A and B are shown apart, each in its own frame.
Chain A
Amino acid sequence: MRHHPSRDLIIPGPAGCVLMATALLAWSILFLKAEEQIPILVYMISGSLLVLVAALSDLHKSISATISSNESSWDKCMTLTLLALILIFHDDHYTLFLLGTIMVYATAVLGLNVQLGYTGVINFSAASFFGIGSYTAAMSSAAGLPSLPALLLGGIVAALVGCVLLLPVLRTSGHYAALVTMAFALLFRVFLEVNEWFGGPQGIAVAPLTLFGLDFSQDMQLWGIEFSFYVKYDLACLLLLVLAFGFVRRLERSWLGLSMDAVRCDETAGACFGVDIARWKITAFTVGNLLSGLAGALYAMMLAYISPANFAFPDSLLFLSILLLGGMGNNWGVILATVFVVVIPEKFQVIQEYRYLIYAALVLFMILYRPMGLLPRKARNYGRLS
């Protein structure tokens, strides 16, 4: 193998992971703490430049080599980075809510990744399944169901509605699934708005998450330090994200993920080797909606109030564009792109109004010039126990 001088720039091994995670943490703290538009712009530009330099030089190769050969260290570093951010911003409601939103959205898009990125089943109603999770959690906890079962029920109902909706369609081939999900996304909002039972267009209040007698909607005082109630929600979001991430990654590194790839690649060729096309499409669709539903249920509890406007068609498109931006099939890409799409318009208010325009332009640009996304998916590597 040829020797790349730049490979030496990054400390290899777990220490390299720690170093990169620390740099990332430092940059995130600065960026999230910044409130004036000028410093935010400076951090954004300097961050983008750094990424650009890495992408254009060989640096990205050594970074990705370090990460993939020290995967479990990298996983821990990333989890700890998020944990550190939650603790550092322990009394900052706004930033904590932003972090929670990122983690919940990322979980939902991981579900979409199983559907579209792995299996090639397009879903234009990801936000609707997210919304089913939200409304199920709201309605069932209003009816007296404890939080945890209500949360799980959110995921299960989303998965079941998906099955009922698409079972007839997924058995056929062609673009019917795309059309059905599109119609469903448009109808879902109208359905909620005309049903007073679901709170109509104004929406409904959602009972807070309560686990083991711990009310997640109350601020806390520990060792004399003020903790926003969002800290608890963020920890729950982090747990959900870590579990979802581990699950979809194991799925990819198994015969199940291989079969899903076979379906996406070539249904006819797959069928000639025994791949049951309908079975894997249904499995992927159900798993994806389960994750979206769980994420939606947790999000609803964190928001405490939901309305149909939270789960409209543009939100489904937003989920899709996160996946396209991050890189179809790449779970780290999903996380990276969710951060971009959620944080940048929040911090950089100037573009807030035009954000859908910017997303649209960005997606078009990606499709034309970098169809594999920011982080293209790598060849499957079964060889790890995790």
Chain B
Amino acid sequence: MSVLLSCTGLTMRFGGLTALDSLDMAVEEGDVLGLVGPNGSGKTTFFNVATGIYRPSSGKVLFQDEDITAKSPQEIYRMGIARTFQRSRLCLDLTVFDNIMIGNHKNLDFGIIHNLFKRRSFMAEYEDNLEKARSMLHALNPALAKRIHQPVGLLNMIDRRRVEVCRALVSKPKLLFLDEPSAGMTHDETRRLMDEVLAFSRADEKFTLVLIEHEMEVIRRTTNRCIVLNFGRKLCEGDYESVTADPFVQEAYLGTDL
């Protein structure tokens, strides 16, 4: 398998605080990679740097052998990286469909004539996209597909997470970042959501996923490889068994969980 995303010497400082400290890591095509570590260890910061929200203090990020360190979030999205956010960042007053379509930005036709004056061709495009969004929702949860025209603010937590996942998946990204999908949900809901995401992703051999998660049970069930961060450094990496065998991981991070 080839390397899809890699970073070398990645350092991110916020004033005096070093959130990422010369981090080297690689994500391979087809990976389901778990990113774990205590609070404040730099996991979300890694996503933010890799998606172009922050410019790193030093180091490089390569995606498909192209340097994306200085690229904007928009360019990186167009290259095929999509994400969800730790704190759900949906537009609550917009409908489920609208929120999903924001994720489909790169496939929409923004021509002024098409949008404002040729309403028939616009409506045809709209119907296509509606069908697409509906079938995605249906695949995740048939009940949610029926609520496609409702504002997201009316949905419960798991359905909001589902919408976020659809928003990230609708553009068929090559690489998906999931930031703590379990936040705000019960164990059961998390398990269901992850099963749905994995079922969706298994349809595509090359689909690659990086998952930040505190619940080790989720990591065990879903990932084939883990990287443990601590104070912005890579502590260790390997499959679930070898990582959890590490004494530091057991003490510092898993002690309460296992």
B73-A256 in contact (CB<8A): no
B51-A272 in contact (CB<8A): yes
Is there a chain B Cβ closer than 8 Å to A380's Cβ? yes
Encode contact with A along B90-102: 1 for CB under 8 Å, 0 otherwise. Answer: 1101110010011
B116-A265 in contact (CB<8A): no
Is there a chain B Cβ closer than 8 Å to A57's Cβ? no
Given contacts A250-B116, A385-B120, contact A379 B89 (CB under 8 A): no
A255-B110 in contact (CB<8A): yes
**Chain A residues with CB under 8 A of B91:** 261-262, 265-266
**Chain A residues with CB under 8 A of B90:** 269
Given contacts A255-B101, A255-B115, A269-B85, contact A379 B74 (CB under 8 A): no
A269–B85 Cα distance when bound, in Å, is: 8
Given contacts A247-B116, A250-B119, A386-B119, contact A274 B94 (CB under 8 A): no
Given contacts A250-B116, A259-B105, A379-B149, contact A265 B94 (CB under 8 A): yes
Q: Closest Cβ of chain A: how far from B35's Cβ, in Å? A: 17
Encode contact with B along A234-273: 1 for CB under 8 Å, 0 otherwise. Answer: 0000000000000100110011101101100110111111
A258-B98 in contact (CB<8A): yes
**Chain B residues with CB under 8 A of A71:** none
Given contacts A261-B94, A271-B53, A380-B94, contact A266 B115 (CB under 8 A): no
A275-B116 in contact (CB<8A): no
| Size range of the chain A interface in the assembly | 20 to 34
Q: Closest Cβ of chain B: how far from A278's Cβ, in Å? A: 10
B103-A271 in contact (CB<8A): no
**Chain A residues with CB under 8 A of B85:** 269
**Chain B residues with CB under 8 A of A255:** 101, 108-110, 115
Neighbour of B103 across the interface among A247, A268, A273, CB < 8 A: A273
Q: Closest Cβ of chain A: how far from B154's Cβ, in Å? A: 10
Q: Closest Cβ of chain B: how far from A35's Cβ, in Å? A: 44
B77-A379 in contact (CB<8A): no
Closest to A266 in B: B89
Neighbour of B167 across the interface among A247, A265, A273, CB < 8 A: A273
A383–B119 Cα distance when bound, in Å, is: 10
**Chain B residues with CB under 8 A of A272:** 51-53, 73, 77, 82-83
Is there a chain A Cβ closer than 8 Å to B122's Cβ? yes
**Chain A residues with CB under 8 A of B95:** 379-380
A66–B60 Cα distance when bound, in Å, is: 58
Is there a chain B Cβ closer than 8 Å to A176's Cβ? no
Within 8 A of A (CB), among B126-177: 126, 149-151, 167, 171
Q: Closest Cβ of chain A: how far from B68's Cβ, in Å? A: 13
Within 8 A of A (CB), among B40-77: 51-53, 72-74, 77
Q: Closest Cβ of chain A: how far from B32's Cβ, in Å? A: 21
Is there a chain A Cβ closer than 8 Å to B17's Cβ? no
Closest to A271 in B: B73
Q: Closest Cβ of chain B: how far from A322's Cβ, in Å? A: 21
Is there a chain B Cβ closer than 8 Å to A191's Cβ? no
A258-B119 in contact (CB<8A): no
A271–B74 Cα distance when bound, in Å, is: 6
Given contacts A254-B122, A258-B98, A266-B89, contact A273 B105 (CB under 8 A): yes
Considering residues B74, B89, B126, B150, which has the most beta carbons from chain A within 10 angstroms of its beta carbon?
B74
Is there a chain B Cβ closer than 8 Å to A276's Cβ? yes
B51-A258 in contact (CB<8A): no
Closest to B122 in A: A254
A276-B119 in contact (CB<8A): no
A372–B74 Cα distance when bound, in Å, is: 31
B116-A256 in contact (CB<8A): yes
Closest to A247 in B: B116
Closest to A382 in B: B126
B110-A273 in contact (CB<8A): no
Neighbour of A274 across the interface among B77, B93, B151, CB < 8 A: B77
Is there a chain A Cβ closer than 8 Å to B106's Cβ? yes
Within 8 A of B (CB), among A272-302: 272-276
**Chain B residues with CB under 8 A of A273:** 77, 82, 102-103, 105, 167, 171
**Chain B residues with CB under 8 A of A268:** 53, 73, 89
Closest to B168 in A: A273
A383–B149 Cα distance when bound, in Å, is: 11
A132–B107 Cα distance when bound, in Å, is: 39
A99–B83 Cα distance when bound, in Å, is: 51
Given contacts A259-B110, A382-B126, contact A274 B119 (CB under 8 A): no
Would you give 23 A-B contacts (Cβ < 8 Å), ordered by A?
A250-B116, A251-B115, A255-B110, A255-B115, A261-B91, A261-B94, A262-B91, A269-B89, A269-B102, A270-B102, A271-B52, A272-B53, A272-B82, A273-B77, A273-B105, A275-B74, A275-B105, A276-B74, A379-B95, A379-B149, A379-B150, A382-B126, A386-B119
The 8 closest A-B CB pairs, nearest first, are A265-B91, A254-B115, A274-B105, A269-B89, A271-B73, A274-B77, A255-B108, A262-B102
Q: Interface of A with B (CB < 8 Å)?
A: 247, 250-251, 254-256, 258-259, 261-262, 265-266, 268-276, 377, 379-380, 382-383, 385-386
- Known: A258-B102, A273-B103; 12 extra A-B contacts, CB below 8 A, are A255-B115, A258-B94, A261-B98, A266-B89, A268-B89, A269-B102, A272-B82, A274-B77, A274-B105, A275-B102, A379-B150, A385-B120
